[in-house]
Amino acid sequence: MADLLESVLSGAWQLLFWGAVLACAVAATVFAVRLHSAPEPAGRASDTLFWDLFMGSAVAVPALLIPTLASPWSGLVLAAVGGATGVAAYRGHPRIMAWHTSRRQRRQELPLHTAAQAEHTTLLARWSRYELDPAYCIDYPAMTDVRQPETAAVIRAMRDAEQLRTVPQQGYVPAVARLRLALTEAEKAAGIPAAAD
């Protein structure tokens, strides 16, 4: 009885092992084929696809055949696992690639977002002196007069940049650039010499 139980457990572990190997090989092959099936120079695409399929089958075929030789039923189960994995990998590929692209883009935009946050803080400090420093308020009243089109543009640009500050993918960096440009234009329209910046 103990031998039978040990045999069943050993068979289950082997089926689990070969199933995992087969699923990984099929999924990796499907991803590689879908990734490399984009249009490439003549001759190169077929060569890449051949090697993708060859390497995938070099792992998947033994993972399917070895257990099948021991038990035809396990071969049938593994064939179903391989087929289901192939379909799932094929259907899931676009979502996974979109997630990967989005993640890479976020990583690339993070330094730009951080730099834009620092510039945004500097621009807000530059603007606040026109509101808080009495000497600047007296010398440059146009900077706080929202009836002036340039000043109104600064206020709109500040509002837009502030709304986008915590969301890097939504155009925060261009919003800070627009704020910088609007503030510079407002200062120029108010007659503020460049040395006052």
Smallest CA-to-CA distance from 80 within 22, 27, 31 is with: 22
Per-residue pLDDT of the chain (197 residues; tens, 9 = 90+): 677 667 767 778 888 898 899 999 999 999 888 887 766 555 555 678 888 888 888 889 888 888 888 888 888 888 999 999 999 999 988 898 888 888 887 787 788 888 889 999 999 999 999 888 888 888 888 888 888 899 999 999 999 999 888 776 678 889 999 999 999 999 998 888 764 44
Instruction: Please state, in angstroms and as integers, the Cα–Cα distance from residue 26 to each residue in 6, 46, 49, 50, 60, following that order.
Output: 30, 19, 14, 15, 7
